[in-house]
Amino acid sequence: MSEKQIRILAIESSCDETAAAVVENGRCIKSNIISTQIPDHALYGGVVPEIASRKHIERIDNVIEMALTEAGVKLGELDAIACTYGPGLVGALLVGVAEAKALSWAAGLPLVGVHHIEGHIAANYIEDPSLEPPFLCLVVSGGHTHLVRVIDYGKYEILGRTVDDAAGEAFDKVARAIGLGYPGGPLVEKAAKSGDASAVSFPRAKVEGSPYDFSFSGLKSAVLNYINGLKMKEQEVNPNDIAASFQEAVVGVLCDHAAMAMEEFGAKDFALAGGVASNSALRSAVQELCVQKGVRFHCPSPILCTDNAAMIGAAGYYEYIAGRRDKWDLNAVPGLALGERV
Ligand code: KG4
Ligand code: ZN
């Protein structure tokens, strides 16, 4: 007899993407619908929490319906409903959590709350169905920069994290400073392709006493100071060179930390995750590092790096088979820590 297929409807609404997906056995995407709010926030140069919540409410029903239709399943045929319950914007998270609770009550399906960063890490399980813990993972997104030892499914040790700005946040702030739009990451990457990465030597900060921690606010300030210095001297600012030099500094720091962890823990597998992992300079630098160290390199395709619900379905599956079940009191937890159960 064939093994039972576990199909999960996953919902993600922690920031500015309204997303729903149907994922089978944590590894196989049946549908993956993402409605991005980027145009709604671009006017303001960043995510406006109030607008994000309202847009999630307007779109979530349609997005879920599209995910079910594309997967060719009815709600009642599913095994569980998973939703992101933290970390993120509280008003945005609440929309997905309330929707997941309503659907799970109406259809009599188990409810599974998922940690957003666990989702980002789990995107690697979809990309490479043979990947299993233990492995090292560098999570680089708009809100987080974590170097993590994935010990087992749902079991993590955080080796390092940012003490100030996240890597994606630094990309967004530098993009603003050099006159690019929002979100900054992809625009900085594009500008960097036409720039000279050795044009400016930006600092690569170390955190005293915490070799795995990151600090990006000094780098961001260095970029701003550099631009102001040029302006004061009435010299021309070359945004492409700044973008390339900044990106080089970020990628350099991330690679240094990754290399240190690979050596210390004798890693066999190293994975990237999060929105910044869609940056091709970072992907190729870490891939090259893995080749040098004889470590297998993993990275989700760009659409699974930025926020999506398929990754929540993958993480939700491992929570589901481990027996996690949430009740009607599941709440949004904006500051939820990785590995924490609330
Ligand atoms: O993972 P994500 O979609 O949302 C969070 O959980 O934060 O990450 C969004 C972040 C933004 O800061 C965005 O600028 C950055 O990822 N990002 C990039 C690229 N694409 C997105 N950063 C650098 N290069 C990219 N190609
Ligand atoms: Zn994210």
Q: Which tens digit of pLDDT belongs to each residue from 296-332? A: 999 999 999 999 999 999 999 999 999 999 999 999 9
Give the tens place of pLDDT for each residue, 172-195. 999 999 999 888 999 999 999 999
DSSP-derived letter for residue 135 is: E
Q: Give pTM, 2 decimals.
A: 0.96
For residues 270-277, average pLDDT: 98
Cα–Cα distance between 119 and 190 in angstroms, integer? 27
Instruction: With beta carbons less than 8 A apart as the criterion, state whether 153 and 22 touch.
Output: no
**pLDDT value, residue 7:** 98
Domain 7-123+305-321 grouped into CATH 3.30.420.40? yes
Confidence of residue 2 (pLDDT cuts 50, 70, 90): low
Q: Delimit the domains of the chain by residue range.
A: 7-123+305-321, 133-299
Report the mean per-residue pLDDT for the chain: 96
Give the tens place of pLDDT for each residue, 6-49. 999 999 999 999 999 999 999 999 999 999 999 999 889 889 99
Provide the 10 A C-beta neighbour count for residue 94: 19
Cα 141 to ligand 2 centroid, rounded to whole Å: 6
Task: Please determine, for residue 1, whether its predicted confidence score (pLDDT) is greater than 50.
Answer: no
**pLDDT value, residue 18:** 98
Lining residues, ligand 1, CB within 6 Å: 15, 141-143, 168-169, 171-172, 183-186, 189, 274-276, 278-279, 306-307
Domain 133-299 grouped into CATH 3.30.420.40? yes
Domains 7-123+305-321 and 133-299 share a fold: yes
Cα–Cα distance between 177 and 69 in angstroms, integer? 43
Which ligand 1 atom is nearest residue 172's CA?
14
Give the tens place of pLDDT for each residue, 198-225. 999 999 989 999 999 999 999 999 999 9
Provide the 10 A C-beta neighbour count for residue 288: 12
Which ligand 1 atom is nearest residue 306's CA?
3
